Structure 1
Amino acid sequence: MPEKSTDAVLRKKFKGLWYRALKLSNLSDLNAEMVAVWAKDIGLEVQDVVEKPVGAFSPIPAVVLTVGGVTAYFPTVSATNDPVWAERRRAHERIAAIWSKAEWFEPLWVPRGQIGSLLAAVEHRSKEEAIKQFDFHISTIYTLAFQAVCIAQFISKSRTLAPFYPIVREAYLAFYAGHRASSIAALIPVMEGALQRISVENGNLHVEQQIDRVIDRACGLAARVSFDRNWVPEEYTTKEYLYGQDERVFIFETFRQWLKDVFFRNTDKYEGVTWLNRHLFAHGTSTVWANDGNFRRLVVALATFGVIESWHDESNSVPLLLPEMNNDSVLLWQQAQLQAQGQLALRMLEQQNYQKYGQIVPPRPTDDGSLLRKAHLTDECIKDLVRPLRDAGWDVEMGEPDEQALQMKVVARGGGTEIHVGLLYSCATAPEIYRELAKSCVAILYLGPPDRQKEFTPGISVHVGPVAGWQPPRAPVGD
């Protein structure tokens, strides 16, 4: 008899044994001796029968029967009424709800400790605050080097994603060269292309149906692998049962949730905060999608598609564990660092050029320039204001720049006297800021040259001028 026919006969008999087990008052009464007797009753030659835990991640007790080189697992706990399973299911549903709030999915390649810290930071916050916390945490997890591994070692190796590798690589380098919005815009269509290439045989289906077909197939392989590709009753291989039992199935299911509820969600039904939505991008409904966090999300989501492909067609091209960086990812990472360094030098030159005209560099969709202004304003404050004041005998306390890095204040004390001095990023600052500083400052200074100073300082009686040209008064000598 052909091998496949023999297997089919055995599987049919295994089903018969299972139906007999289900007639017991309690599955926990099932044991090895009982299964061995039943197997012999239906003409099976028992090679081995033992009781042991089976299944990956969260094993369940079972009777393991081997007949004719084929093994079958007969669980001794219910697939629906096991309190341990029910508790695990609820715990995973709670975690999935947190990922949903963060508009993300259970991540691969991240240590459990970091995942726990991220979930704790997000769980009890509003959607808006949750996204802020999430973006902060993933900026320390999905680092420049992490992204390089995703691109050079995952995306490049995936059958589905390899054709997009040059685009993703260029987007990565462009992002760190300062072209952030265009880099994000380049990756959004790639996400849709990845889904279509994986589900090429389902190309005529609606997007949601394509997602379900692809994820269902990946979960099906995970179920088989979870039970060592041996026979097990069907109810123990469903995604509903394995949701809280198999970590791979949970990752795939939360990825399904993210694809359907966030990225491919219809415009009128999307209620998120990240705006990382294919339809909102295509129709120009909003530009909020252009932020740093979304670039990191897209790179990792594409790499995750590589894992889905591996479990969809058993290609095993993208691993579940994070590998060491190889030469390709190290070189890509170093290339991005060079791009970032060159971009910083360029931004400094741009800033200097605009400052000649008393202006700030116009903001970009992904960067309002405040961090660079803050660094420059702080450095110039130390060099041209704090040091001269100290040389003049004052004890100086330097404040922090405001949120937009347009102004800051210093407090100088000496001989029982205290003076406040304001420092502006440029002469061309709103008159209301000048008026507010004039209430407490003996002088209002600014970086760069004067530029229509009188237009911005009507009614200001305190000294106003470039910081480089101001000579601080000597500190009075105390008694």
Structure 2
Amino acid sequence: MPEKSTGTDAMLPKKFKGLWCRALKLSHLSALNAETIALWAKDAGLDVQEVVEKRVGAFRPIPAVALTVAGNTAYFPTISATDDPAWVESRRAHERIAAIWSKAEWFESLWVPRGQIGPLLVAVEHRSKEEAIIQFDYHTSTIYTLAFQAVCIAQLISKSRTLAPFYPIVREAYLAFYAGHRASSIAALIPVMEGALQRISVENGNLHVAEQIDRVIDRACGLAARISFDCNWVPDEYTTTEYLYGQDERVFIFETFRQWLKDVFFRNTDKYEGVTWLNRHLFAHGTSTDWANDGNFRRLVVALATFGVIESWHDESNSVPMLLPEMNNDSVLLWQQAQLQAQGQLALRMLEQQNYQKYGQIVPPRPTDDGSLLRKAYLTDECIKDLVRPLRDAGWDVEMGEPDEQALKMKVIARGGGTEIHVGLLFSCATDTEIYRELAKSCIAILYLGPPDVQKAFTQGINVHVGPVAGWQPPRAPRLP
């Protein structure tokens, strides 16, 4: 059984505070030293065991005098909590980084090496909001990978008291996302975010969301502050989030997560000014469907895992680590399962496209995928097989262009015997007439994949050859005299 605190132990914080008040009367805290503290402590009737000068605090230690009395230690910093040049510089640096994260509508990331975070921040800092999000999604697609997400779900989210009940839903959403049901997967995770906040601290359930967020984050920051100073006594001004924002990396992470929750995810609809549209109210009230994009699924998985860390520091349970664990069998199997889903989805999409191709059409777009990547791959392959090879067999040197952004059209240039011809290739017969007219200005023929499908309805006024690429016989390249 632990020993009960004596009356002397209970009085020590007041004694320590008295010594600190005396220190603040010095002309400058740098004048404080071990001899002075030892003398003051004895004057206050304390039985001094040890007094040493040392650097204290995690991440960015500060100079202090450590006084030990009756097995209890107090730290008396010898630099100011408000105007120390090193602290001011660190604070400004962290505010700059936080501003970049705010532009990207995100927060300081856990589990990601600085070597990966640095290029992301550089890419985002001097761009517009829209360009910043594009850069963020590009960089995080190589950071929050399929395997990274599997670890977050199987080894972090599953360990959280708050999130464990939602683990089957998160796991299924992950598999469904890579099986092609992307919008549905994102929609399944948004309510889990709100549930996580409410379940972390039941006693805060009747408070406004912003107050719930503050209560939870404040408590997590409080534990970080105590641990930062080895759970020893330290003046209150050195344990505030204002001070530790630039000193303790954990507090900085928690604070930027707080701001993301307030300014983005739980922001009132009329005040939301972001670009990602990952907002609980926009989703719940059907104000916008722009939340349905690939990047938001990665964001939600990482945000939920971060909630698990917040819970661990709120409850002091340490159930979800701040360091990314090595993949275990659970996450490896989940990762492999997602890969199988993705491979099966690719085969299914090709079959779907072939079915639509029979009718000269393209597969209708989905909220998170307009099908352009699949069309681009298919259009390029078919162009090589059914257009480039026959032209080369006919004696032409062929230059193949790139598909357009929507992968609806592309063009090839054939040269031979001092002659140059252009041929257009469309993904389907049922293509807008304006695209036919555009190609007709430079092409001797406009071809398309698949069979004819009411071709005349799309080609009125077109005076060049139009037809299926599979049925076109290219002319022979002329020979030089």
TM-score range, shorter chain: over 0.9
Structure 2: distance between partners of 1:120 and 1:152: 31
**Residue in structure 1 matching 2:465, options 453, 463, 466:** 463
Aligned to 1:338: 340
Q: Describe how 1:251-400 pairs up with structure 2 within 5 A.
A: 251-400=253-402
Give 2:27's aligned amino acid: S
Aligned to 1:133: 135
Pick closer, same or farther for the CA change 1:5–1:164 going to 2, 3 Å: farther
Q: CA deviation at 1:152?
A: 0.2
TM-score when scaled to structure 1? Answer: 0.99
Aligned to 1:73: 75
Structure 1: distance between partners of 2:10 and 2:388: 85
Structure 1: distance between partners of 2:199 and 2:207: 13
Pick closer, same or farther for the CA change 1:4–1:111 going to 2, 3 Å: farther
Give 1:400's aligned amino acid: E
Q: CA deviation at 1:346?
A: 0.7
Residue 423 of structure 1 aligns to a residue whose secondary structure is strand
Structure 1: distance between partners of 2:342 and 2:30: 62
Residue 52 of structure 1 aligns to a residue whose secondary structure is strand
Residue 378 of structure 1 aligns to a residue whose secondary structure is helix
Structure 1: distance between partners of 2:261 and 2:479: 70
Structure 2: distance between partners of 1:44 and 1:4: 14
Note if 1:61 corresponds to 2:63: yes
Give 2:381's aligned amino acid: D
Q: Describe how 1:23-422 pairs up with structure 2 within 5 A.
A: 23-422=25-424
CA deviations 1:201-249 (Å, max 9, x no partner) are 1111111000000000000000000001111111000000000000000
TM-score when scaled to structure 2? Answer: 0.98
Q: Percent identity?
A: 89
Give 1:319's aligned amino acid: P
Given that residues 9 and 70 in structure 2 are in contact (C-alpha distance below 8 angstroms), is that contact kept between their aligned partners in structure 1? Answer: no
Residue 3 of structure 1 aligns to a residue whose secondary structure is coil
Residue 157 of structure 2 aligns to a residue whose secondary structure is helix
Q: CA RMSD in A?
A: 1.0
Q: CA deviation at 1:6?
A: 3.5
Aligned residues: 479
Pick closer, same or farther for the CA change 1:443–1:4 going to 2, 3 Å: farther
Please list every run of 5 or more consecutive structure 2 residues that lacks an aligned counterpart in the other structure: none
Pick closer, same or farther for the CA change 1:200–1:338 going to 2, 3 Å: same
Residue 110 of structure 1 aligns to a residue whose secondary structure is coil
Give 2:406's aligned amino acid: Q
Q: CA deviation at 1:4?
A: 5.6
Residue 461 of structure 1 aligns to a residue whose secondary structure is coil
Residue 65 of structure 1 aligns to a residue whose secondary structure is strand
Structure 1: distance between partners of 2:137 and 2:201: 31
Given that residues 422 and 443 in structure 2 are in contact (C-alpha distance below 8 angstroms), is that contact kept between their aligned partners in structure 1? Answer: yes
Give 1:328's aligned amino acid: D
Structure 1 range deviating more: 10-19 or 317-326: 10-19
Structure 1 range deviating more: 267-276 or 43-52: 43-52
Give 2:217's aligned amino acid: I
Given that residues 428 and 448 in structure 2 are in contact (C-alpha distance below 8 angstroms), is that contact kept between their aligned partners in structure 1? Answer: yes
**Residue in structure 2 matching 1:448, options 433, 436, 450:** 450
CA deviations 1:347-366 (Å, max 9, x no partner) are 10110000101111000000
Structure 1: distance between partners of 2:8 and 2:188: 52
Structure 1: distance between partners of 2:260 and 2:417: 64
Please list every run of 5 or more consecutive structure 1 residues that lacks an aligned counterpart in the other structure: none
